[in-house]
Amino acid sequence: MLRPSAVFITGIGACTPLGNSFTEVANGLLTGTSAIRRVDELTQESHPCRIGGPIGPVPCPPGEDAVAFAQLSRLEQLVRFCCHQALRDSGLWEVRHERRIGIVLGLGAEWMLPWEQAGLTSSDITQWQPEVADHGMLERTRQHLAISGPVSTVSAACASSNVALAQARSWLRLGWCDVVLAGGCDTGVSALSLAAFGNLRALSRRNDSPATASRPFDRDRDGFVVGEGGVVFTLERATDAAARNAHVHAEIAGYGSTSDAYHMVIPNPEPGPASRAVHLALSDAGLNPEQVDYVNAHATSTPVGDTSEARVLATVLGEHLPKVPVSSTKSMTGHLLTAAAAIEALACIAAMQRRAVPPTINLDEPDPTCPLRHVPHEAQDHRVRVAVSNSFGFGGSNACLVLRAA
């Protein structure tokens, strides 16, 4: 029976290093495929980290002017492609003018990345003022798609896409929109991003072995690997989706968010604030910890962060901890930064639909400080009705999403 406030995912658009559709990405995740490779495009030799999970050229959506599309920044291409595909996948493309459709995306570097792209290709930095456009990227996308709802860019750093999905759900429940496109896009495999994260000493330096560099929960992990890409979901009220017999991928069942108030970069070693976010999300979904079938961990492959999250999961799941499979798909995709939670929501949906939990590849020797029910190397058959997706970001943001099979 439909809950009146339920919100469903009825469409998915994806452009990631593992593929450019839900099916391709799900196949990559469930076969344990690494998308990490050496980044040859860097012009400077001395980058401490020269590996990443980059996307290829972003496909031009069907019906678009390829020349005009090619002139957009890579980030705007991603946004355009993913929104387009999500609307088509939901079956709403042809009737998009008849509904109030909004957009909420996690875009932590909406301005920075195009600034970088413009700045590194400009011969005269003194003339540099690339933000003179009247509107932001999402408003331009809204106008281009000829849809009529509100738009919003949000950023909680690496937790951004969960924030976006929660805000989209709110807009639907409050009646502000009929449909919302929500998720995240990031093109973080860039020179300045790799330099800045590298100088923070946050990145893996396994430059000689890209495919094994991202190894969450492993004893020999040495930092994360930047990935990039975008995933956008079409969200509708359950009643509206049912009324048009829409194909439903999953329900956005719960959300919880807190702040550490501890440090701008380092996660709180005490599990309290992040645990509270997971508790809030489960409570919002009307679920108990024993009803969780799978946890897609934030685990980025940093020494401090993965151990902190293991403590959080032990606090939340308690005696059920040994029964709940936990994996980090960042081992395959790298860390998509502000789009990370979006591709990880996709991973949860893949687990539900394929009845298999994606693995943590490269987990050769689990760190004893992370005593979880790991899924090393290969996917495991498992019925997933309820999935928890954790995301934690700089600025101390903890954002947890609960997805439920429809």
Partner 1 sequence: MSASSGSAGPLDFWVRAWAFRRVPIEGIASLRKAPASGHTFPVSLLKNADEQTVVVLAALMEAVDRLGAPLEAYRDWGVLGAPRFIGRDCIGQAIPEYTREGPWSVSPHIIPHRSLHSTSGTITLALGSGGPNHGVGGGPDAETEGLLAALAMLGERPVPGVWLTLSQVTPLTRCDSSLGRPPDGSQVEALVLALTREGPGLALQLDSTLPIGQGAGLACDLDSVLNLLQQGGSLPLARVGMLRAA
Identify residues 343-382 at the interface with partner 1 (CB under 8 A).
Answer: none
158 as an active site residue: the answer is yes
Q: Considering the rule CB under 8 A, would residue 97 count as an interface residue with partner 1?
A: no
Among 37, 100, 144, 382, binds partner 1 (CB under 8 A): 100
Least Å distance between CB 359 and partner 1?
29
> What does the per-residue mask of binding to partner 1 show for 14-53, with x meaning CB under 8 A?
------------------------------xxxxx-----
Q: Which residues of 215-242 are buried (b: 16+ CB within 10 A; e: fewer)?
A: bbbbeebebbbbbbbbbbbbbbbbebbe
Among 31, 33, 196, 242, binds partner 1 (CB under 8 A): 196
Which residues within the stretch 285-304 sit at the binding site for partner 1 (CB under 8 A)? none
Tell me how many residues contact partner 1 (CB under 8 A).
89
CA distance 358 to 332: 10
Q: Considering the rule CB under 8 A, would residue 181 count as an interface residue with partner 1?
A: no
Q: Considering the rule CB under 8 A, would residue 123 count as an interface residue with partner 1?
A: no
Among 1, 40, 126, 245, binds partner 1 (CB under 8 A): 126
298 as an active site residue: the answer is yes
At residue 355, what is the residue type?
R
Residue 180 or 351: which CB sits closer to partner 1? 180
DSSP 338: G
- The number of beta carbons lying within 10 Å of the beta carbon of residue 112 is 17
335 as an active site residue: the answer is yes
What the block records as the tokens of 230 is 């975008």
| Active-site residue (options: 15, 185, 249, 335) | 335
CA distance 309 to 313: 6
Residue 34 or 257: which CB sits closer to partner 1? 257
Which residues within the stretch 222-251 sit at the binding site for partner 1 (CB under 8 A)? 237, 240
Least Å distance between CB 50 and partner 1?
10
Phi–psi pair at 252, nearest 5 degrees: -80, 95
DSSP string covering 83-117: HHHHHHHHT-STTGGGS-EEEEEE-TTTTHHHHHH
Tell me which residue of 296, 293, 297 sits closest to 323, measured CA to CA: 293
Least Å distance between CB 305 and partner 1?
14
3-state SS record for 189-211: CCHHHHHHHHHCCCECCCCCCHH
Catalytic annotation, residues? 158, 298, 335
